[in-house]
Homo-oligomer: A and B are copies of this chain.
């Protein structure tokens, strides 16, 4: 991995000065074309050994590019707002939008590597981190992000020499911290871990680019040229060409003769009498209220997802949940068309931004599953996009669960007849008529397509950490009680786990 980077590449001042003007001009041109087209974002990861000139090289890039459209972020210790959410949240919130460049120092590689070198994590945990990273980067590149991962390398001797040089010079002394020397003393262990991580994460869509860090001109030119080449290639390619051109095999669902599927298997006659409903409701709301004030909830969060056909009773069920909670504690996120800023980001970005802190709840009225439901059925995205969404969603939910979130996903199912009845009722009831739109009637015509998409979604995304709860919701009382019971039970199970 590091053989070439230990050869001690250099570039003479003459060659550097000769090449630089043309490189800068072309970089600025490519950057302007990127900004104008807003076709994709560019993300540079800057990693490597201390003293290999990471900061200097990035400063050079800032000088060469138009710095107004480049954003460098150094991720040091997480802030308290970041610590109370899944680890990847801080990277999501800093992602550059389409048309811009982002440069991440101290990114998602730092913590897994450092912890492993210092023996703070086991091998299996490193494996898990690598797998998270692979999935995340796959998602980024599938979403069109031009991802360039630079590794700045120095040999053991080279690093020692460099740190000594920097320490001797009064003007550069501040750059060498005691931590750098401490890290240097672990060079061999560090190198071994890094080599492994680089090997496993150097994929076709996001290969590592190892840069010999011993000569400042050489490394800057290498990075500049690599960036330019990648930018030019991508700009020259036709839009969408980064995507897999050959569709992957799609699972074919064979319908059995009875047309049975998970939705049709639901017992839609389930119901509750009003009296039973009232009694249960009061008890469950009290129970949920208690749970939300349990001290153990302060290191947990609650994420609920409500999906289902229009007029399935999502709003009513959500209100029974929220009225058990304190208004300061939850946020209902109604998912509608993405905003301009959201459209300039990977698909899941607009959900990540609403991930609650510990001690809080987020209730999604429709959710990230829109990708594999409405966007699939209405052809708002390409087949490749919604096919890969299953795995991306499972990753996302796994990260939520791993960070302590209790995740409850409800599918509120109503029959076609019951939906029609409710549509008519809404049309004719004063304060409900705002709830019914032309779109609702249109969606109804695609009942079968939605049913198929739903069954596939449930199959793909009902996991042990985040199972789907399918609720027969022809009877609203029954549905609301089922929802509340599930949330209470899952919170209790989570608390008991501790």
Contact = CB atoms under 8 A, between A and B. Distances in A.
Interface of A: 24-26, 28-29, 32, 55, 58-59, 61-63, 66-74, 79-81, 103, 105, 171, 174, 286, 293, 315, 318-319, 322-323, 326-328, 331-334, 339-341, 365, 430-431, 434
Contacts of A431: 24-26, 28-29
Contact of A68 (B25, B79, B315): B315
Contacts of A81: 79-81
Contacts of A340: 339-341
Nearest to A320: B63
A194 to B, nearest CB: 21
B323 A55 contact: no
B328 A73 contact: yes
A81 B430 CA distance: 46
A59 B318 CA distance: 14
Contact of A105 (B66, B328, B331, B339): B328
Contacts of A29: 430-431, 434
B72 A328 contact: yes
Given A339-B340, A340-B339, A59 B327 contact: yes
A334 B68 CA distance: 6
Contacts of A318: 67-68
B434 A322 contact: no
Nearest to A82: B81
Given A66-B315, A174-B293, A293-B174, A434 B32 contact: yes
Contacts of A79: 79-81
Nearest to A62: B327
A241 B55 CA distance: 54
B71 A323 contact: no
Nearest to A77: B80
A74 B328 contact: yes
A72 B315 contact: no
Q: Which 7 A-B pairs have the closest CB atoms?
A: A74-B328, A25-B431, A32-B434, A68-B334, A72-B327, A340-B340, A68-B332
Contacts of A434: 28-29, 32
Nearest to A431: B25
Given A58-B327, A63-B322, A71-B331, 10 more contacts: A55-B326, A58-B328, A59-B323, A59-B326, A61-B327, A63-B323, A68-B332, A79-B80, A80-B80, A174-B293
A328 B174 contact: no
Contacts of A28: 431, 434
22 contacts: A24-B431, A28-B434, A55-B327, A58-B327, A58-B328, A59-B323, A62-B323, A62-B327, A66-B315, A67-B319, A67-B322, A68-B318, A68-B334, A71-B331, A73-B328, A80-B80, A80-B81, A81-B81, A105-B328, A174-B293, A340-B340, A341-B341
A59 B329 CA distance: 11
Contacts of A315: 66, 68
A44 B174 CA distance: 50
A73 to B, nearest CB: 7
Contacts of A69: 334
A365 B430 contact: no
Contacts of A174: 293
B293 A62 contact: no
Contacts of A286: 171
Nearest to A357: B79
A331 B323 CA distance: 42
A28 B63 CA distance: 55
A180 B61 CA distance: 56
A332 B55 contact: no
Contacts of A105: 328
A74 B331 CA distance: 12
A39 B449 CA distance: 37
A327 B103 contact: yes
A313 to B, nearest CB: 14
A59 B315 CA distance: 16
A109 to B, nearest CB: 16
A353 B209 CA distance: 34
